[in-house]
């Protein structure tokens, strides 16, 4: 794939049609409804099982590579090469090749249980595996409030899976002018971000050249995944957590919460947001 050629997901990927009885007052209608898929997705690195995540079975190569980077299994996303994606009766198995010198990382990062769709660091066996500290994110770019508002508007219009099902989160990558160039969706907010990180790599986008918008709260694991990918600016439509703010402050990540058309809250490193005055 050439640089900045955006991988496009299959139009109906991630949902199935099921019959549902819709009740409105005394009336009941039998209708077909689009339902978001949620299946076990197993990651196997160098033939060693690592984790099973409950996820939407779309954009799985993006998911595998982004997950490997954001979980600290590899330091460069090029070091995670997807070998095969096999759809089984029980779920999906994704086999990934990593350098031999990274295999020891699997033990410290290994999950002791399945990761649910709402789960980020669930199942990490060691405290240090759950509470990692990524390297500083770099300078990143300045983002105007106008660009941020454009990105938020465009993200809402670029979620076909959520439009069909009403059940998924999204993570979007925006350029400096606010134009959304990549979106990935999943029933799990962390999965959506991992998929986006993988898609950014495949499309050739530099994480220092744009900014991240997500349709969820800014939890610690969301901030950690963004910082691990070298993203310097993240805007969430909901609230942050105190641990996310602590990580963002340490790594240099600009973290915004409650991002809306009419404003946002800037919690850390406000220098990157241009056009917002602070009154005291």
For CA atoms 156, 153, 61, 225, give the dihedral sign: negative
Between CA 53 and CA 64 the distance in angstroms is: 11
**Domain count across the chain:** 2
The band of 248, judged by pLDDT with boundaries at 50, 70 and 90, is: very high
Between CA 60 and CA 83 the distance in angstroms is: 12
91 plus 169 within the same structural domain = no
4 in the Ramachandran plot: left (φ > 0), alpha (ψ -120 to 50) or beta?
A: left
Among the ranges given (32-36, 127-131, 211-215), the one the predictor scored with the smallest mean pLDDT: 127-131
Between CA 91 and CA 263 the distance in angstroms is: 42
Please name the residue ranges forming H helices in 110-256. 127-130, 145-157, 160-165, 189-203, 220-228, 242-251
Provide the residue range defining the domain that includes 180. 143-274
Stretch 158-179: mean pLDDT, rounded?
96
Domain boundary among 130, 162, 191: 130
Domain boundary among 130, 165, 197: 130
104 plus 225 within the same structural domain = no
- The domain that holds 260 is classified in CATH as 3.40.140.10
Task: Identify whether the C-beta of residue 41 lies closer than 8 Å to the C-beta of residue 64.
Answer: no
Q: What is the pLDDT of residues 254-273, one digit of tens each?
A: 999 999 989 999 999 999 99
152 plus 251 within the same structural domain = yes
157 plus 233 within the same structural domain = yes
Domain assignment present for residue 154? The answer is: yes
Q: Which residues are catalytic?
A: 119
167 plus 62 within the same structural domain = no
Stretch 15-31: mean pLDDT, rounded?
90
Domain assignment present for residue 33? The answer is: no
Domain assignment present for residue 22? The answer is: no
């Amino acid at each position: 794939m050439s640089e900045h050629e955006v991988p496009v997901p299959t139009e109906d990927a991630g949902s199935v049609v099921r019959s549902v009885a819709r009740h409105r007052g005394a009336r009941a209608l039998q209708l077909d409804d689009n339902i978001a898929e949620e299946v076990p997705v197993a990651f196997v690195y160098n033939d060693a099982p690592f984790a099973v995540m409950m996820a939407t079975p779309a954009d799985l190569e993006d998911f595998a590579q982004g997950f490997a980077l954001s979980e600290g299994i590899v330091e460069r996303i090029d070091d995670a090469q997807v070998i095969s994606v096999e759809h089984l009766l029980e779920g999906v198995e994704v086999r990934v090749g990593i350098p031999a010198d990274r295999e020891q990382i699997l033990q410290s990062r290994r999950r002791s249980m399945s990761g649910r769709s709402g789960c980020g660091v669930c199942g990490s066996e060691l405290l240090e595996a759950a509470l990692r500290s990524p390297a500083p994110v770099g300078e990143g770019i300045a983002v105007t409030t106008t660009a941020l508002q454009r990105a938020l508007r465009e993200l809402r219009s670029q979620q076909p899976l959520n439009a069909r099902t009403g059940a998924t989160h999204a993570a979007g990558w925006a350029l400096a002018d606010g134009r959304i160039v990549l979106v990935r969706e999943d029933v799990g907010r962390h999965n959506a971000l991992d998929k986006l990180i993988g898609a950014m790599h495949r499309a050739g986008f530099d994480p220092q050249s744009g900014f991240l918008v997500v349709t969820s709260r800014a939890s610690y694991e969301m901030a950690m995944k963004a910082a691990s990918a070298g993203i310097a600016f993240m805007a969430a439509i909901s609230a942050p957590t105190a641990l996310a703010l602590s990580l963002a402050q340490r790594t240099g990540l600009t973290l915004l919460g409650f991002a809306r058309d009419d404003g946002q809250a800037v919690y850390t490193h406000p220098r990157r947001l241009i056009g917002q005055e602070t009154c005291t």
